[in-house]
Amino acid sequence: MSEGSGSTPAAHPRRHRVLVVEDDPMMAEVIASYLNHAGMLVAVASDGVMALDGFSAFNPDLVILDRMLPRLDGTHVCRTLREQSTVPIILVTALGEQDDRIEGLELGADDYVTKPFSPRELVLRAQALLRRTAAAQQPQPRSRLRQVEDLAFDPATGQVTKAGKPLRFTGRERDLLEFFFANPGRTFRKDELMQRVWQWKVGDASLVSVYVRRLREKIETDPANPTILTTVWGVGYRFGTEQAVG
């Protein structure tokens, strides 16, 4: 694994750390150059094994992960990283089919880009994910605990628990869940959720179903028979009626 050079003066804000996993040296160099220019500290891994080792050593704030890698492919790396961390992951793939994009998101990726892509667009996506992650970590004004069945959300700390046990979410999962907590009992179409939660004006609405499925796996007692996040057939999704606590 190689790492970008340069030190950050103590008076300056901490630079975001990005792990780029790409086996094409020229592509890796271009991505790293754009990220460095945007003020990020970059480390590069050229295969799946190096990616997992580099993740532990570098402790990145964001991972940009190519799907097709030697030794261990990107899907294996993505699944492994998601089992141990909620770090934002952007999946880079040469596969443009819808099923491949959905599979990547189901594995836990937060976003994806399809080759060929604009390095500038990749930087903008990275910055958006980093901003959202930073915002989620900021202390919030004290507010009452929100609860639906045995699922509880504390706006002040951002902690979500089910039957008293804390849950972990990726950035996009948390965006969607917090939106539902803010709008209990209301039904939203997929395209509404895309625009209001993630500001996606265009895109494949079926991707919303992926995030709903991922949320259900964490918040429902029986994901196959959801009672908290339900489907209103022919319309969209509804989050159960909120109960006031405290």
Tokens 């002040």: give the residue. Answer: 156
Q: Which residues pair with 238 in a beta bridge?
A: 187, 230
Cis peptide before 119 (omega within 30 of 0): no
Query: What is the per-residue pLDDT across 87-134, written as a single tens digit (0 to 9) for each?
Result: 999 998 876 666 667 777 788 888 888 888 899 999 999 998 898 877
Say if residues 85 and 109 touch (Cβ distance below 8 Å): no
Residue 246, judged by CB atoms within 10 A of its CB (0-12, 13-18, 19+), counts as: exposed
d(C-alpha 218, C-alpha 220), whole Å: 6
Q: Quick one: pLDDT at residue 7?
A: 44
Q: How far is CA 235 from CA 70, 187, 191, 193, 217, in A?
A: 43, 8, 11, 12, 22
List, for residues 54-92, the tens digit of each pLDDT value: 999 999 999 999 988 999 999 999 999 998 898 999 998
Strand order in the sheet with 17-21: 2-3, 41-45, 17-21, 62-66, 89-93, 111-114
**What's the whole-model pTM score?**
0.71
| Domains of the chain (ranges, CATH numbers) | 2-137 (3.40.50.2300), 145-245 (1.10.10.10)
Confidence of residue 138 (pLDDT cuts 50, 70, 90): low
